[in-house]
Chain A
Amino acid sequence: MSAEPIVVDLLLIGAGPVGLYGAYYAGFRGLCVGVLDSLPQVGGQISALYPQKDIYDIAGLPRIKGQDLVDNLVAQAAPFAPRYILGSEAEILRRDGDELVVTTADGTSVRSGAVVITAGVGSASPRPLPCGEEFLGRGLHYFVPDLSTFDGKDVVVVGGGDSAVDWALAAVARARSVTLVHRRQQFRAHEHSVARLHESVCDLVLDAEVGKLFADDAEQISAVEVCRKGVDTPKRVDAQVVVAALGFKLNLGPIASWGLTLSKRAIVVDPAMCTNIPGVFAAGDITTHAGKVKLIAVGFGEVATAVNNAAVTINPDLGLSPGHSSDAPPPGSDQFAVSTAATI
């Protein structure tokens, strides 16, 4: 929670590939830039959904792994020291005189001259455990940033993907007992991790779902009731820590309530990438306009348009065009690896 507002010239909401490229351009225009994301990491859909996948349609890069593209974008913006504000979902957007103020769910406030919304498909929230949401903070977790949470406890992990398997494996080394509960027989995780799971002391309860959570006198989780397919009597498992790793839901979230003109849950923009709210621009998958195609390549073009137009909004003395980047190589760019066809 931050009491002092963060003040920047331009704020990008969404730190996926398009937001990151926007940060580079804002820096190149001499603007002080902030980049906000609801996730604790940058990289947007790429890093969250397909970091290891090869991408073939990025201009100038015949083939590049998702996460490598993200890392390159971070490096490209780095000389301009963007301020990354991660793990905070933007909740409110309002105008205060010359400035726009964005407030996040955890109370952080960012003031800027202009905002570019590069939020892709929205913010990610963990898929809830159907029977147990009220136990969040009382033994139920979606993430376990501090692994000592597992120490000496009876742990139940729910889910069948990479996250669930990874949490179970992390817990095995430290917990008193670990049980993994999954709806199917088959896992959706890397074969190698699943093999390690089978070899570990983790108790696997498959074709099963968590039906109920029980609390002790202090209202903390004390046990979990598991219902197995084809078995009448539910199984009761002692647990003080339950990790629900059921995947994410991506949702437009609070952005849908900011008074932006939307069409089919996308933000309508004009050729300058401006929304119906003065000073608020948008770029990337979250936008819609005549002929819109949702590609990273298109998003890159849109965010360059948005940032350069936003620059004029922030400082009318600035020209719309940034000039040639080769006339002003960023500080430290002589250290950048030179890309040649031979290195691809």
Chain B
Amino acid sequence: MAFVIGEPCVDVKDKTCIEECPVDCIYEGERMLYIHPDECIDCAACEPVCPMDAIKPAQKVTDDWQPFQQAARQVFEEIGTPGGSFNVDDALTDPEFVQEFEK
């Protein structure tokens, strides 16, 4: 089901979650971080360590989080399942919703 990173991450990108994730499924975008919906193993290690409280499980996504859940699908459309952010060199291009998002 995966976890979803939302608004509090935008323009912050603390990255403590990336250190904690055992399957390296959190990738860096330009304005925020993205949890890969297919690579996430639902271990929930990332959720408590985010200092911005930006991470929710997919089952608890509210209306304001919903577009971020969609964005997390869109951002991986081109690269598929790389099997870890270690395998990706550059920041991912943010989907339009995130690019235009005003905090």
> Which residues of A does B touch, CB under 8 Å?
45, 48-50, 121-122, 124, 161, 183-184, 188, 246-252, 256, 264-265, 285, 294
- Which of these, A45, A49, A50, A251, contacts B83 with CB under 8 Å? A251
A252 engages B83 (CB within 8 Å): yes
- Which of these, A49, A183, A252, contacts B43 with CB under 8 Å? A49
Q: How far is the CA of A264 from the CA of B80 in the complex (A)?
A: 8
A249 engages B22 (CB within 8 Å): yes
B19 engages A264 (CB within 8 Å): no
Q: Does B45 contact A (CB under 8 A)?
A: yes
Q: How far is the CB of A109 from chain B (nearest CB, A)?
A: 27
Q: What residues of B have a CB within 8 angstroms of the CB of A256 in the complex? A: 83
Q: Which one of A50, A248, A251, A256 has the greatest number of beta carbons of chain B within 10 Å? A: A251
Q: How large is the interface on B (under 10, 10 to 19, 20 to 34, 35 or more residues)?
A: 10 to 19
Q: Does B86 contact A (CB under 8 A)?
A: yes
B23 engages A249 (CB within 8 Å): yes
B23 engages A250 (CB within 8 Å): yes
A188 engages B49 (CB within 8 Å): yes
B43 engages A249 (CB within 8 Å): no
- Other A-B pairs beyond A183-B19, A294-B41, 12, CB < 8 Å: A45-B43, A48-B22, A49-B45, A50-B43, A184-B16, A249-B22, A249-B23, A249-B24, A250-B23, A256-B83, A264-B38, A265-B38
Q: Does B81 contact A (CB under 8 A)?
A: yes
Closest to A183 in B: B19
> Which residues of B does A touch, CB under 8 Å?
16, 19-20, 22-24, 38-39, 41-43, 45, 49, 80-81, 83-84, 86
Q: How far is the CA of A285 from the CA of B81 in the complex (A)?
A: 16
Closest to A293 in B: B1
A49 engages B22 (CB within 8 Å): yes
B19 engages A246 (CB within 8 Å): yes
Q: How far is the CB of A131 from chain B (nearest CB, A)?
A: 16
B39 engages A265 (CB within 8 Å): yes
Q: How far is the CB of B39 from chain A (nearest CB, A)?
A: 7
Q: What residues of B have a CB within 8 angstroms of the CB of A249 in the complex? A: 22-24, 84, 86
Q: How far is the CA of A252 from the CA of B80 in the complex (A)?
A: 15
Q: How far is the CA of A188 from the CA of B16 in the complex (A)?
A: 10
Q: What residues of A have a CB within 8 angstroms of the CB of B24 in the complex? A: 249-251
Q: How far is the CA of A111 from the CA of B83 in the complex (A)?
A: 29
